[in-house]
Structure 1
Amino acid sequence: MIPFGMHCEEVALREFRAMIVQENARQIPAGQYLFVECYCDDPECDCRRVFIQVYLQPDAKRIVLSLNYGWESPTYYQNYMVWSAKLARQIAAGCLDPLSPRPAYAADFLRLFRKHALDEAYKARLKRHYALFKASLRRN
């Protein structure tokens, strides 16, 4: 997975998503969380998903957690990626990456992400960014 900005720098600088978390009863530290989109760099792969690295500003030097999201149906991921039905449903809903850091507040953060950040406009943007990224791979 390669950051979107490595192939589409101008678009990545102009079109990114962040989420501000206020003081809360949960364990989620207050602050601005920057989402860095990463996509598969295999031009032949059509996985139709994004790997989102989450950084807490202003430091933004360390990944706080990572998310996976796929905009197709769970059936697509179950068939294309030969994943279990459970994993396919998780990818289609947005899920925590099992191999990345997972702070104590990760599940609460995922719920906020799904409810407040993963709106229809952002889903459409991720899909468009995926197409731009894949097109840039084919050109290079």
Structure 2
Amino acid sequence: MPYSFFYSRFPEIAEQKTRSVTIYDPSEFNLPPADYAFLEMYCDEPGCDCRRVFFTVISSCEDDVKAVISWGWEDQVFYSKWMKNSDPDVIKEMMGPVLNMMSPQSNLAPALLRVFREVLLPDTAYTERIKRHYAMFRQTVDKKSKIKFRRKKGKIKRIK
């Protein structure tokens, strides 16, 4: 699954809505003081319906990537069916949130995953926005292949 940045298709929205967390006190999360931006990436493979996001986390103090976190918001049943695999380790990796094992991670990555779990994930308005961004992004990908998705009662459904 190839992933692309949300800002590559929606630069104005990404500029306004990209979430960042400012760390002032290094003792709280064991992170150096900085702004940490969580840049959204979504799958751009036509027909894919993985319902996942990758966050590339960067710091205002340095240029390199600090962490890549993946998160899928659906339940175990969805990912088991979607993957055609019921291995609990595989499903856990799909659901996350986890540090993406295929991406380079800095020594700050575990602390940034903790920030994601404790600060961002409990924010329902934020997680719902991520799901809306996913639907927007997928429509631009699937428009070319004539595959459509629609939101119905809080769920995203593929229309054949």
Instruction: Report the AA paired with residue 22 of structure 1.
Output: Y
Q: Give distance in 2, aligned partners of 1:92 and 1:122.
A: 17
Alignment of 1:94-133 (within 5 A): 94-118=97-121, 119-133=123-137
Residues 81/22 of structure 1: CA separation in 2 closer, same or farther (3 Å cut):
farther
Determine what percentage of the aligned residue pairs are the same residue. Answer: 32
Aligned length: 139
Q: Give distance in 2, aligned partners of 1:13 and 1:20.
A: 17
Structure 1 unmatched runs, 5+: none
Instruction: Report the AA paired with residue 117 of structure 2.
Output: R
Larger relative contact order (C-alpha < 8 A, sep ≥ 6)? 1
Structure with greater strand percent: 2
Alpha-carbon shift at residue 74 of structure 1 (Å): 2.1
Structure 2 unmatched runs, 5+: 145-160
Q: Look up the match of 1:135.
A: 139
Q: TM-score, normalised by structure 2?
A: 0.78
Q: Look up the match of 1:8.
A: 10
| Backbone CA RMSD of aligned residues | 1.8
Could you say which structure has the larger radius of gyration?
A: 2
Contact 2:6-2:40 within 8 A present in 1 as well: yes
Q: Give distance in 1, aligned partners of 2:109 and 2:61.
A: 19
Q: Does 1:77 align with 2:75?
A: no
Alpha-carbon shift at residue 54 of structure 1 (Å): 0.2
